[in-house]
Every structure is written in C-alpha cells, then in structure tokens.
Chain A
Amino acid sequence: MSHSAEKKISTYKWQLMLLFVTAFQVISSAQLIFAAEKVDLTLLFVFAGFIALEWLYFIFARIITKQSSFELEMIAFLLSGISIVIAGSINDNFAVKQLIAVALGLAAFLGLLLVLRDVEKAMFLRVPLAFAAIGLLALNLGLAKVINGALNWIDVGGFSIQPSELVKVAFIFVGAVTLDRLQSTKSLTKYVVFAIVCVGALFFMRDFGTALIFFFTFIIIAFMRSGDIRTIILICTGALLGAMLVIYFKPYVAARFETYRHIWQFADAQGFQQTRTLIYSASGGLLGLGIGQGNLRGIYASSTDLVFGIICEEWGMLLAFFILIAFALLAVYAIHASRRASSTFYSIAAVAAAGMLLFQVALNVFGVTDLLPLTGVTLPFISRGGTSMICSWALLAFIRSTGFKQNVNDT
C-alpha cells in the first residue's frame, strides 16, 4: 500500500469504524425485526432511532469539536447497541426503555462534559454533590429498612432507579476535585470520611459488590494523588481487618460467599445462577446459537446480572470475549488520555472512571462464571436497566474530558 493511500485510510478511520459498527448493529437487529413472519415495527423504529442517534452524535461532534478520535464513543455505542438488541429479544417494551436509557445516558455524558469544561466552576459543585450522594444513599437505606432485604433500587413510575449507580459519578467527581484542588490534610480527611460513609451505607444495604467497587475506586484516587504505595497497603490492611471483624460479628456475610468455587454442589440452590450461566454459555460455543435462541433468558436476572451468559450463549463466546477486550481497550485509552490531560483533575478522574468500569466488568463477568464470588453487579453499558446505562455513559465523560484545554496553574 502506498504512503498516500495509507494516509487516506487513517484520515477516514473513524468514519470507517462508524460504518463497521453500524453494519454490525443493522445485521444483529435485523435478526430480531424479521424473526417473526410479521415485521416488528416497534423494534424497527427503536433500532432506526438508535442508529440515527448514533450518527447524529458523531456528525455534530465532528462539526463542533473538529476532533477525529472517537474510539471511546464508538465502543460505548457498540455496547449500547448490543444492550438494546438483547432487551428487544425479550420484549419490545424493554427495547423502548433501553433506547430511552441510552438517550438519557448520552444526555448525561454531554451534560457532564459541559460541566467539566471548566474545572474552576465545577469545583463549586463538590459539596452539594457530596451531600446529595449521601442523601440518596440514606433515602435508599431508609426504604431498604422498611422492606427488610438487600434492596438497592427505588421504583419511580415504572422506572427503577439504583441510587448507588448515580452516587458512583459523584464519588469520582468529588474525589478528583477535592484532591486536585486542596492538598491539605483537612480536605483529604473530608474525602476519606465521604468515602467511608458511602462504602458503609452500601455495606448496610448488603450491596457488597458496589461497596467493593467504591473501595477499589477510592484506592485508585488515593494512589493517583499520593503516589504512595505504603499508604495504599495501609488502607488495604485496614479494610481487610475491618472485613474480618464484620465476618466475625455478622456471619451471614460469609455465608453469602460459601458457594464460591463450590457452585456445582449447590447447583439448584445458591449456585443456580452461576451454574446455569456456565451451562448455557458453553452451549453457545464460539459462534453462538443465534439471537433469541438461548435458554439462559428464562433464568431470573438473565438480562441484567447474567447478561454475559446470554451473549456467550446467543452471540457466541468470540463476541463475548471481544467485548471484554473492548473494556480493556477503554482503560488503555484512558491511561494515554490521562497523560495528555491539561489538569490533574482530568487525569485522576479519567483513570478512576476507567478503573471503576473495568473493576465492575471483572466483578460481573468473573462473578457469574465463579472465578470470583458472585456479588450481583451489572455489566456496564450492556445489562438491562436505566441507571446502569446512564452511569456508564456519565463515567465515560470523565475519560473524554481529558481532551479539554485548561489554563489552570497546575500544581
């Protein structure tokens, strides 16, 4: 290939990628639209709407920002598209809801970018956001107490909202801003208190998975700020001791993890979800049985927590592993974007957001396949559910914001 031809292709790289992604989406959604004898018009409109949304975003983003690197959004749209097809393969209503979730997610992404354009101004939001986050968790905790179970979502007019998902965005925002702006011990202490309150509240909600995600993100932020391995080791040791105390005083916590690595012994009890995920994932083979042809979809929480199994069974293990690689690439992108960032805030926020996403993917995928204990967290961008989708897109804004120019005198 000649030099000029090579240059031509690299110039049109994102356009080619968009065509490729769109082709994939058309093919996968067509399988659903034309599955029955009668064309499913609702699904047709949902997918057409989704693809229109996608193209509009890229066209306007290109015109307004003149940027030519869209890897992040490309991955996010690809994963969101898969999510809508899976939702649509269950019923039309889910597909409509999931499209709305993607639209809201995109709005949250753009809104947060707008806020993040100016770090100085965004700074003022940190205290109200911190209080709003704690308030949300307290509200959730209050409701959960009434129902007396592991409840981490609130029903609002047909849409279920997971407050912990929204708090994730605030957690990174508050962490990155606080530590960026003020290096005093006082501000650090405040953030540590905020983190302990968040993790503690999640713990009392028995949402151990999300509590772990918050703790992991806290470690990343603390390391990004201090660069001190000893501090990190100290924090982890403290957390480990705390966890041991909890297990000692509250044995039911340990009981929840006793099936870990023994799922086949409890195949029809506590190991039900994991064993069925493995059985049906393997049934799909590398190439999959075809969209809608699987049996895992009949299992409780299959399109939310167990969605990785649905992808393996129906879309094939090859695609499922490609998705995992895409999440890893997202993190690699964040590292490099973070190095070019014009402000420490962007740098910390990008790495923290990518780390949070990747950690959550690991907890979800390795949890349902029994490589890690099952904690019941969602798969970002793909699990069915509005708040999870909105949060995933909002976290993406932290990575994208590394492109902003700032005139801040950085420390």
Chain B
Amino acid sequence: MKHTTRRAFALYAVIIAFLAGVVILFATFVLNGGAWASNRANRHVYTAGQIASAGVIYDRSGAVLAQSVKGKRVYNASSIIRKATLHVVGDAAGFISTGIHSAYKETLSGYSLLNGVYLLKQYGKGNDIHLTIDANACATAYNALNGRKGTVGVYNYKTGEILCMVSTPTFDIEHKPADIMTNTEKYEGVYLNRFLSGVYTPGSTFKVFTAASAIENIPDIYSRTFICTGKLQTSTGVIICSKVHGKVTFEQALNRSCNSAFAQIAIALGNNKLSATANAMGFNKPFKMGNINIAPSTFNVDNANSADLGWAGIGQYDTLANPYHMLTVMGAIANGGSGISPYLVDRIVSPSKTITQRGSLNAKTLITMNSGTADKLKALLRSDVVNFYGDSRFPNLQMCGKTGTAEIGNGKKPNAWFVGFSQRPDLPLAIVVVVENSVSGLVSAAPIVNRVMQELASSYTES
C-alpha cells in the first residue's frame, strides 16, 4: 500500500510534461499569432484572397494610397501614383513581399495579441498606416526614370523619413498586365523593390569609401599626388581608367573619378584597412527597416591580389551595394557622421484613433562615422559638384555627391549611379539614383536627381 501511494507521484512527471507542452503552445501563439491571424485563409481578414477590410495606407500629406471599399482593395486614383508607389504599398495578394501590404499585414488587419482581430470585427477595419513618403515626389521620380529600370530613394538625413522610394519596372495594380509572367525582359524582377532588396555593383560611388579609408589611414593623403596614364599596371593585372588624367591630387582624383589614382590608394591601404572601413560604414550588415529586411551590401577582399584590390577600390571586383545602405551612408556624411536609419512608417493609428506607433520614436543611428572624416568627405563631395559636375546641373540645391558608372560585363550597358545630398539647412535630403543599362552617372542619373530634388525643394522645405 505504501509503495503504491508513493508510485502515484510518477503522475507528476506526466503533469510536468503536459504543462511544458502548455507553455510551448502559449509561446508559439505569442510568437506566431500575428502571422497565423494574417494568413490568407483567415476569413475574418480576407475575402477571396484579398485583404477585405484592412486599414488605409496614406502618404505624408494624407493622400490615400490604398483602402478597402466594400470588401475590395482600391488604390490611389492616379495611375502614375499607383505605378510610382506600387513597391511601397505592395499588393493585397502578397507578391511584393517588402510592400506595406505584406510586411504590415498584421497591422492592417488590426491584429494584436490581446484582442486578436477583434478591432477588425468591431470597426470593420484594421489599423491605418501613415507613411513618410510623398506620393507626388514618387510620381516625379517615376516619370524621370522614363521607362528605364532602376530605383530612386530620398530621405531626410536629420529625421530618417523616406520621402521618395520608387522601383522600376512597375505596373498599374488596378490593371495588372496580362504579360507580366511572360514578358521577362520588360518585367524583370518586377515584384522586387530595388531600393530595399536590390544590390548593384557600386562602380565609382565606392570611391567615397576608399576616400574615407584614406582620410583615416593615410595622414598625408591631401598632399600626395598621383600619376594617371590612362591605366595602372600592377604585378597581377591592369586597371583601366576612363581617360589619361595626368598628375592629380586626392581631391582632383575624386572630382574626376580617376581609377588609376583610387586603385593606387586602395593598394596602398591594403586589404585589411579597406575592409575595416567598408564594414564600419555598413557593408556586410543585415539592416532592417521596421518589419522589412534589407538586402545587405557585400564587400570581401580577403582573397584579392593587388589588381583585384585596385578594382575593389574603384567599386568593381565582387562588391555589391544596396541603395538603402548607400543612402544611409550619404546621410551619415551629411549629418556629421551620424547616419540615421531611414524609415517608411510615420505612424500607425488604431480604429479608435489612437496612435499606437510612431516611426520617429524608433529612429536610430544605423551608421556612425568619425565626424572629422564625415566633414572632410562632405567637402570633397561638394567639390565634386562645384568643380566637376557643375552647380548648374542642380540649380539652388547646393548638392554634394558622387556619380558612378558601374561596368557589369556580359556585353550589357553600365548601371548609372548618383549618390549625394543637399547641404542646404532647409533641405536636409539625401538621394540615391540607380539607372540600369544606361550611359553614365552624370548623363543618366544626375538629371533624375535634379528633377526629384527640385520637386521636393518646392514642396518640402523645413522651416
């Protein structure tokens, strides 16, 4: 009898196993509840695979980008704005995974751990999302890209608000083209937001990083001169320059984007120092913007010989750069070394009109640079515009920047880049433009910079 009663305690093992299961179950609900509740099979939220009664998506001035009307998702009235904001807003069917519709579907469906989808059922809609973007600036950028593939991103480097984010190719969500799956040339990567998920060979825009490394590691860099004979012969290969620049200083080398000089600087710095600077300035780091993952920029010269290192120093070799990252680097240079993280969601407003989240409260410094280095780079980038590109290309904008013309091989035309910012105190905006398969940074990308920045200079100026 005594034995039997003691054996009863063995049931405690079963109870403990049971309770462990209960805890695991609760934890999976807390962790996955939002994803489960936002599943397309949830008929509280979706009707025929469409978010039937989700919250409204607004741009910064209150223009409706997407809303639910009688169980159907409808978008902005302007076809241009629909195309320009397609990748920001996303589609209700979820093809564009970085779009607000996908990345914030829990928010739009009004899910919370406490109430589930109760708010949706009670108010007939989920949380509204107010974005930082300016739909008109996006339309201007879309028009300026003029059918070419690429991306334009603009953000306020003091606050982190993204004002413009456009990716092409795009399409009109209200009239989805029938040949979207078959015309692979026209719609190559159409569901990809190139600004967030794209990576490109940076070309000469990478010289900003090489210059930063030189400023920090070569004390007499400003008094050195470099000879450019149109190419640079190294023990392991030749680096080609765009022309014969002759004898140039560090500043002139950046202004004219001299490959010979920057390959020499990269080789003088060595693999480790150039890597250290690139990593410190955000290469090889996975960034997140709210719920959205950013494709990381990659830089690796571990196995590079001196010719490879020379190519890496001018942004070729294996290096790939992401536009969101490059924009943040421009922000860091413009903002005295502190690169504020760009963000898209300004505020989330619940159906009961309470603001449940503010993007500005989550803004943090993504990239930190020595402020002395940042100021020197800023002066160099300003000098690029003043002494080489010409202020006349960017009237009244006081632009600083660097062009890039990235060779991508395979007989394709190069990708054109422009990265830069305005140093006007009332216009604290940084910009990145990539135009695929075009002529050059100065010819293809710079005019887009000017159009978008002029539009914002008139509509968006800080007091």
Residues of A within 8 A of B7 (CB): 223-224, 227, 351
Residues of B within 8 A of A194 (CB): none
A376-402: which residues lie under 8 A (CB-CB) from chain B? Answer: none
CA distance A347 to B9 in the complex (A): 11
Known contacts A338-B5, A339-B5; A286/B12 CB under 8 A: no
A224 in contact with B14 (CB, 8 Å): no
B14 in contact with A358 (CB, 8 Å): yes
Q: Tell me which of A224, A344, A359, A410 has the highest count of chain B C-beta atoms within 10 A of its own C-beta.
A: A224
CA distance A358 to B113 in the complex (A): 27
A347 in contact with B4 (CB, 8 Å): yes
Q: Which stretch from B35-43, B324-332, B440-448 is at the chain A interface?
A: B35-43
B76-96 near A? 1/0 per residue, CB < 8 Å: 000000000000000000000
Residues of A within 8 A of B21 (CB): 362, 365-366, 371
Residues of A within 8 A of B112 (CB): 285
Known contacts A321-B26, A366-B21, A410-B1; A285/B14 CB under 8 A: no
A351 in contact with B26 (CB, 8 Å): no
Q: Taking the nearest CB of chain A, how far is it from the CB of B35, in angstroms?
A: 8
How many A residues, CB 8 Å from partner?
54
Residues of A within 8 A of B39 (CB): 267, 275, 279
Q: Which stretch from B51-59, B114-122, B297-305, B410-418 is at the chain A interface?
A: B114-122
A281 at interface (Cβ–Cβ under 8 A)?
yes
A317-356 near B? 1/0 per residue, CB < 8 Å: 1000100110110011011001101001001101100110
A287 at interface (Cβ–Cβ under 8 A)?
yes
B117-147 near A? 1/0 per residue, CB < 8 Å: 1100100000000000000000000000000
B181 at interface (Cβ–Cβ under 8 A)?
no
Task: Report the nearest A residue to B36, measured CB to CB.
Answer: A282
A283 in contact with B37 (CB, 8 Å): yes
Known contacts A223-B10, A283-B116; A289/B25 CB under 8 A: no
Residues of B within 8 A of A267 (CB): 39, 41
Q: Taking the nearest CB of chain A, how far is it from the CB of B372, in angstroms?
A: 52
A88 at interface (Cβ–Cβ under 8 A)?
no
CA distance A227 to B4 in the complex (A): 8
A361 at interface (Cβ–Cβ under 8 A)?
yes
Q: Taking the nearest CB of chain B, how far is it from the CB of A211, in angstroms?
A: 18
Partner of B37, one of A279, A286, A347: A279
Known contacts A279-B37, A338-B8; A285/B117 CB under 8 A: yes
Known contacts A267-B41, A280-B42, A282-B34; A366/B25 CB under 8 A: yes
B18 at interface (Cβ–Cβ under 8 A)?
yes
A264-280: which residues lie under 8 A (CB-CB) from chain B? Answer: 267-268, 275-276, 278-280
CA distance A275 to B37 in the complex (A): 10
B180 at interface (Cβ–Cβ under 8 A)?
no
Q: Tell me which of A278, A283, A313 has the highest count of chain B C-beta atoms within 10 A of its own C-beta.
A: A283
CA distance A328 to B22 in the complex (A): 10
Q: Taking the nearest CB of chain B, how far is it from the CB of A360, in angstroms?
A: 11
B11 at interface (Cβ–Cβ under 8 A)?
yes
Residues of A within 8 A of B33 (CB): 282, 285
CA distance A220 to B118 in the complex (A): 43
Residues of B within 8 A of A328 (CB): 15, 18-19, 22
CA distance A411 to B29 in the complex (A): 49
B18 in contact with A362 (CB, 8 Å): yes
B461 at interface (Cβ–Cβ under 8 A)?
no
A369 at interface (Cβ–Cβ under 8 A)?
yes
B335-370 near A? 1/0 per residue, CB < 8 Å: 000000000000000000000000000000000000
Residues of A within 8 A of B22 (CB): 321, 324-325, 328
CA distance A335 to B118 in the complex (A): 40
B12 in contact with A282 (CB, 8 Å): no
- For the residues of A in contact with B, the DSSP-based class is helix
B14 in contact with A282 (CB, 8 Å): no
Residues of B within 8 A of A280 (CB): 42, 44
Partner of B117, one of A289, A317, A321: A289
A72-114: which residues lie under 8 A (CB-CB) from chain B? Answer: none
CA distance A321 to B30 in the complex (A): 13
Q: Taking the nearest CB of chain A, how far is it from the CB of B164, in angstroms?
A: 36
CA distance A157 to B10 in the complex (A): 43
Residues of B within 8 A of A348 (CB): 4
A279 in contact with B36 (CB, 8 Å): yes
Task: Report the nearest A residue to B42, measured CB to CB.
Answer: A279
CA distance A28 to B25 in the complex (A): 25
B44 in contact with A288 (CB, 8 Å): no
B116 in contact with A285 (CB, 8 Å): yes
A295 at interface (Cβ–Cβ under 8 A)?
yes
B387 at interface (Cβ–Cβ under 8 A)?
no
Known contacts A279-B42, A283-B44, A347-B5; A332/B118 CB under 8 A: no
B113 in contact with A285 (CB, 8 Å): yes
B118 in contact with A279 (CB, 8 Å): no
Q: Taking the nearest CB of chain A, how far is it from the CB of B68, in angstroms?
A: 18
CA distance A287 to B33 in the complex (A): 13
Q: Taking the nearest CB of chain B, how far is it from the CB of A294, in angstroms?
A: 9
CA distance A282 to B113 in the complex (A): 8
Task: Report the nearest B residue to A180, measured CB to CB.
Answer: B4
A207-253: which residues lie under 8 A (CB-CB) from chain B? Answer: 220, 223-225, 227
Q: Taking the nearest CB of chain B, how far is it from the CB of A177, in angstroms?
A: 14
A284 at interface (Cβ–Cβ under 8 A)?
yes
A160 at interface (Cβ–Cβ under 8 A)?
no
B242 at interface (Cβ–Cβ under 8 A)?
no
Q: Taking the nearest CB of chain A, how far is it from the CB of B311, in angstroms?
A: 45
Residues of A within 8 A of B24 (CB): 371
Residues of A within 8 A of B121 (CB): 289, 293
Partner of A358, one of B9, B15, B25, B26: B15
A276 in contact with B5 (CB, 8 Å): no
Residues of A within 8 A of B14 (CB): 331, 355, 358-359
Q: Tell me which of A278, A295, A327 has the highest count of chain B C-beta atoms within 10 A of its own C-beta.
A: A278
Residues of B within 8 A of A285 (CB): 33, 111-118
- Can you list 25 A-B pairs, Cβ within 8 angstroms, ordered by A? A268-B41, A279-B39, A279-B41, A279-B42, A282-B34, A282-B116, A285-B112, A285-B116, A285-B117, A287-B114, A289-B121, A324-B22, A325-B22, A327-B18, A328-B15, A328-B19, A331-B14, A339-B5, A344-B1, A347-B5, A362-B21, A369-B25, A371-B24, A371-B25, A410-B1
For the complex of A and B, the 3 pairs showing the least CB-CB separation, nearest first, are A285-B116, A282-B36, A282-B33
B residues neighboring A (CB under 8 Å): 1, 3-5, 7-12, 14-15, 17-19, 21-22, 24-26, 28-29, 32-34, 36-37, 39, 41-45, 111-118, 121
| Given contact pairs A283-B45, A283-B117, A366-B21, a sample of 5 additional A-B residue pairs in the complex whose CB atoms are under 8 Å apart | A223-B7, A275-B41, A295-B44, A331-B18, A361-B18
A residues neighboring B (CB under 8 Å): 220, 223-225, 227, 267-268, 275-276, 278-289, 293, 295, 313, 317, 321, 324-325, 327-328, 331-332, 334-335, 338-339, 341, 344, 347-348, 350-351, 354-355, 358-359, 361-362, 365-366, 369, 371, 410-411
